[in-house]
Chain A
Amino acid sequence: MRIALAFIIFIAINGQSLAKTIRVGKDSPFKTIKSAIESAQNWDTVLVYNGTYIEGNIEIKKSITLIGKDLPILDGSKKYEVLSVKANHVVVKGFKIQHSGYASLDDPGGIKVYNGNHVVIENNLLYDNFFGIYLQYCKNCIIKNNRVIAFGKEEQQIGNGIHCWKSDSLQIIGNKLTGNRDGIYFEFVTNSVIWRNIADKNIRYGLHFMFSNNDAYFTNCFRNNGAGVAVMFTKNITMMNNTFEENWGDSAYGLLLKEISDCYLGGNKFVNNTSAIFMDGTNRIRVEKNIISANGWGMKIQANCMDNVIEHNNFVGNTFDVSTNGSLTLNSFSENYWDKYEGYDLNKDNVGDVPYHPLSLYSVIVENTPSAMLLFRSFMITLLDKSEKVLPSLTPANFVDTRPLVQSIKL
């Protein structure tokens, strides 16, 4: 034990004495970051003082810690990738990185990490880059508290805020992403967690999964994006405690699930979306304890979805609670609260005695004939809906919540 302690202390003291701090700035020995990095050894710290550094592409091939003091600016003059990290154990902290180049072939980013393990990117402001932070073949990296602002107008013209490709065990925490194509993009990324991020006003999606299994995202906020989150061709995603709001517009969704299976969606809040949840080819998903309120459509479940369980959710104030495009129903609804439920509860066990059919006639009509949306809010439609509720004939009879709750669930 004592020997071990002594060894640790020895290492600590030695480590500290070995690693030096190299200062970069106007009044410092090094004027450029490039020269500082060149003279640095592994485990050194490069401390960059306030100023604007226009040095083209800065490459980091050593395991160093790069720290900006008072937010120094690294500028790519719209030509270069600003910071390329090509080593393990690199830390990049406290920079304003701006104006990266634009190229559709090699996707230059504000910060791009190539094959890095244990890289930490923290407290940076990425301003007007093509891609914000780009990770490829990375492992165990942490992207924390960065702010990524871009000014994309069209999908093709702009990259993603945080783009991760073929990576594993990433932690994306507390970032703010605005105006990118996708706020956060995952492709072939596994075992990673996305926590406490805010994605707003991104052109396409707030968060986008492609072929990325076994990931989780918690407590994020997706506001006013083309669509809040898109999870596609993926398995085993846990989605909890997120807020999806104001994803409003033609073909805008709060959460878009396409060809995914075995996921969990719980404790989320969907407010003011055109369609809160859109499910297409979605299997074995558990949707529970969500608040789905004031949306155009609460859930759009396509007929190719199977074995999904929708339980204990609150559906409040949606124009359409649920809609589907076929008569096949292979999903189960149970013990949800529907504010449009008009049944009674004689034995006061908080479960309504009459089953509830959440599918309204009009939602079926609109699904089949989109132009019928023109009659939205027309008196005729209200009448039709009422009579269909009493005697279901056009809507599938097994699309039903047999145990609807009478009072909303406290969530």
Chain B
Amino acid sequence: MRRILKYVIIDIVKNKIVVFYTILIALFAWSAFGLEDNASKGLLTLLNIILFVVPLFSVLFSTIYIYNSSEFVELLLSQPIKRNKIWNSLFAGLSVSLSVSFLIGAGIPLLIYAEPRKALMMIVVGIFITLIFISLAFFSSILSRDKARGIGYSILMWLYFALLFDGLVLFLMFQLSDYPIEKMMVMISALSPIDLSRILMLLELDVSAMLGYTGAIFKQFFGTSLGLVLTFFLLLLWIVVPYVISLRKFRIKDL
């Protein structure tokens, strides 16, 4: 497994796109902190970028990479190697390289400019988002052999979580505004990893007071250490579930 992992990582790094991605994230982060006069605002700007760019890049790059390495996978399958190992090392390779580039790109300015606790939270959230969308990429690319269709699924998934979901939530809020829906909203927000991480971050930043009554309920739920653990558990589920489904499919797939 270690050897396959090594090949995958070397392959990704040779690709250079990941290097550009690192530089891009770094540029975003440095300029976010450079343009805003206070660190907390810079953090908010960076949060927006992270929640928008990181998922898009992670999901697209991973999907395309998985499709492109299908020949490599087939070659490996002709060897006496367990299928789990191949899929795992592919996942691990992508995860390690994209997480490291996020760490280098956003982590350094974060640790320099922001308060340690907030910075750490942001880094953890960013890495979780990266892993979740890599996992979703695995899920969508196993759904179909057709490359165009697989990439299509990925883009749709990103669109859904980044844009559509919020629109739906807004619509739901309008429809049900006469009812006490705050608690329900807590549950619903768990259905989108991007929303979950955004709210988690907002509660960590001192804008939480602005969230009013709803925010107070959220704080009651997410602000406690139990809530924090629960949130991270939910995020972890978002990584594990799509990946495990894809792994199962891969194990029995006729290649």
Give the size of the chain A interface in residues (CB under 8 angstroms).
26
B160-198 vs A, CB cutoff 8 Å, 1 = contact: the mask equals 001100110110011001000110010001000001001
B209 CB-CB contact with A under 8 Å = yes
B229 CB-CB contact with A under 8 Å = no
B215 CB-CB contact with A under 8 Å = yes
**A250 to B195 CA separation, bound complex (whole angstroms):** 22
Contacts of B51 in A (CB 8 A): 379
Give the size of the chain B interface in residues (CB under 8 angstroms).
35
CB pair B214–A380 under 8 Å, yes or no, is: no
Nearest Cβ distance between residue A223 and chain B, in whole angstroms? 15
Nearest Cβ distance between residue A297 and chain B, in whole angstroms? 8
CB pair A380–B170 under 8 Å, yes or no, is: yes
A361-404 vs B, CB cutoff 8 Å, 1 = contact: the mask equals 00001001111111111111101000000000000000000000
Nearest Cβ distance between residue B190 and chain A, in whole angstroms? 12
**A296 to B41 CA separation, bound complex (whole angstroms):** 12
**A119 to B185 CA separation, bound complex (whole angstroms):** 58
Contacts of B195 in A (CB 8 A): 374, 378
**A274 to B212 CA separation, bound complex (whole angstroms):** 10
CB nearest neighbor in A for B177: A369
CB pair B189–A319 under 8 Å, yes or no, is: no
Nearest Cβ distance between residue B191 and chain A, in whole angstroms? 13
Nearest Cβ distance between residue B57 and chain A, in whole angstroms? 15
Find A250's partner among B170, B173, B177, B215 (CB 8 Å cutoff). B215
Find A377's partner among B185, B198, B216 (CB 8 Å cutoff). B198
**A372 to B47 CA separation, bound complex (whole angstroms):** 19
CB pair B169–A374 under 8 Å, yes or no, is: yes
A343 CB-CB contact with B under 8 Å = no
Find A252's partner among B174, B181, B185, B209 (CB 8 Å cutoff). B209
CB pair A373–B167 under 8 Å, yes or no, is: no
CB nearest neighbor in A for B37: A317
Seen from chain A, the residues whose Cβ lies within 8 Å of a Cβ on chain B are 248-252, 274, 294, 296, 317, 319, 365, 368-381, 383
Known contacts A379-B48, A381-B166; 15 additional CB pairs below 8 A are A250-B209, A250-B212, A250-B213, A252-B209, A274-B209, A296-B207, A296-B210, A370-B213, A371-B181, A373-B214, A374-B195, A377-B48, A377-B198, A378-B198, A379-B52
Interchain residue pairs with CB less than 8 A apart (22) = A250-B215, A252-B209, A296-B207, A296-B209, A319-B207, A365-B170, A369-B173, A369-B177, A371-B177, A371-B181, A371-B182, A374-B169, A374-B185, A375-B166, A375-B169, A376-B202, A376-B207, A377-B47, A377-B202, A379-B48, A379-B162, A380-B170
Seen from chain B, the residues whose Cβ lies within 8 Å of a Cβ on chain A are 38, 41, 44, 47-48, 51-52, 162-163, 166-167, 169-170, 173-174, 177, 181-182, 185, 189, 195, 198-199, 202, 206-207, 209-216, 218
Top 10 A-B pairs, shortest CB-CB distance:
A380-B166, A296-B210, A371-B214, A369-B177, A378-B166, A373-B211, A249-B209, A369-B173, A274-B209, A372-B173
